[in-house]
Amino acid sequence: MTEALAQASLRDLPPGVPGVALDCPLEQAINTVGGRWKMLVLRALFLGGEQRFNVLLRAMPDISAKELTRNLRELEQVGLVVHVTEQDEAPYALSPLGQTMLPVFRELGAFGARLRAR
């Protein structure tokens, strides 16, 4: 990022937001997997392994086919999910990068359990 662009971006930040947020890895991660469905799609792939589209759709009964397609494409674009088109069933699977999120999911699950126990 150029210095002029960084200064212009700093002026656009809401009051109280530190300039470091412009290049924050945590913010990038949140933007990548945030939203209503992405974490649930990833969870389904962690728990069930490689899965076909309709199996994923059944694993998340409240998501529409259109929304699942959009989320899978976005997760493919960022490299967290792969669509194995060489196989007849063309399943979806976690990429090696996506698999690195397993410790994050374990910690989020533990956090959820602590919240539930309160």
46 to 5, 33, 49: CA distances (angstroms)? 39, 14, 6
Q: Name the one residue in this structure whose structure tokens are 């959820």.
A: 112
The answer on pLDDT for 19 being more than 80 is no
What confidence tens digit (pLDDT) does each residue in 28-48 have? 898 899 999 999 999 999 999
What confidence tens digit (pLDDT) does each residue in 86-110 have? 777 789 999 999 999 999 999 999 9
Nearest-angstrom CA–CA distance, 16 and 37: 30
The pTM (predicted TM-score) of the whole model is: 0.78
Q: What percent of the chain has pLDDT over 90?
A: 65
| 82 φ/ψ angles, rounded to the nearest 5 degrees | -120, 145
Nearest-angstrom CA–CA distance, 1 and 44: 37
Please list the residues that pair with 43 across neighbouring strands.
none
Q: Which domains can be identified in the chain, with CATH numbers? A: 24-117 (1.10.10.10)
